[in-house]
Amino acid sequence: MSNIDILSIGNITEDIIKVGKKKYFSLGGTSYYAYKVAEKLGFDLGIITEISSKIDYEKHIDLKRLFFQKTNNHTIFENNYEDGIRNQAVISKPGKILVNKLNRPLSSIKPKIVFYCPILNEIGPDFFNLFNESFKVCNLQGFVRKISKGKIKLINKLPDINFKNFNSVILSEMDTSFENALKIANLSKIVCYTMGNNGVKIISNGKVRHIETIKIKYVDETGAGDVWAASFIIFYYLMRKNLYESAHLSNISASLSVEGFCDEKIATYNEILSNK
């Protein structure tokens, strides 16, 4: 595993989804959804994460793909749907992932892309100084969240990180304002501002372009933004597609994923192309 396509840094979670009297359990978190997208599209992805003995990860992930820090209590989210609206709560929150606490050294791997995608700001500072030969992509969501009485709250300001270090920054209208996206675009080459069923705005070279998405029937929106981000990374940086085509294909990939619960409807490349 010395040369890998993508290395994601951010915790795998346990997701509980409640719809009426039905309850679904799944792994979750941006790193997990990125892993599943990469698997569907034929690329390899490694994950830096906390793991606990309370989950059998091997049922869902090749353990050789994990660089992990052991913990007693993993991150748990509860997603409760009422009248089609998702209310999210944090049952258990993570600690910091630290380079010197991982089960094996990172010096043995050379990722083409490093995807910084925390859930709740759990990435230790040393990770930002590594992998300087890789493309670096930031998923903003986990950097602007905090927990208050079990609920996720937004910080309402940009985090104190150097956006110049990232080739791309991906964020959503749920994370922060478009005004802040424009501020980030002054520092990072590409900014992707996702807007759910309204598509995405791509900011690059001082230009803003809106890419619409397809219409679908929503079942579960959990992980949709994560699927979008991982798809974009693969289409643009690994498959070398045009910037706007990459965004268009990522819109389709994310839209198709919400037609099922959790990760059950993550699409293959052919499925994405058939919905263009």
| Three-state SS at 116 | strand
Is the pLDDT score of 220 beyond 70? no
242-269 mean pLDDT: 92
Q: Which pLDDT value is given to residue 23? A: 82
The two tokens of residue 218 are: 């929503």
Q: For residue 158, name the pLDDT band (cuts at 50, 70, 90).
A: very high
Residue 218 neighbours by CB distance under 10 Å: 13
Q: pTM for the full model?
A: 0.94
CA distance 10 to 28: 11
The DSSP element (H or E) to which 78 belongs, if any, is strand 75-82
Q: Which pLDDT value is given to residue 181? A: 96
Q: Per residue in 18-76, pLDDT tens?
A: 888 888 788 999 999 999 999 999 999 999 999 999 998 998 999 999 999 999 989 99
151-172 mean pLDDT: 92
Q: Are 133 and 107 in contact (CB under 8 A)?
A: no
Q: Which pLDDT value is given to residue 147? A: 84
Q: Which pLDDT value is given to residue 1? A: 59
- Short-list 66, 143, 74, CA closest to 106: 66
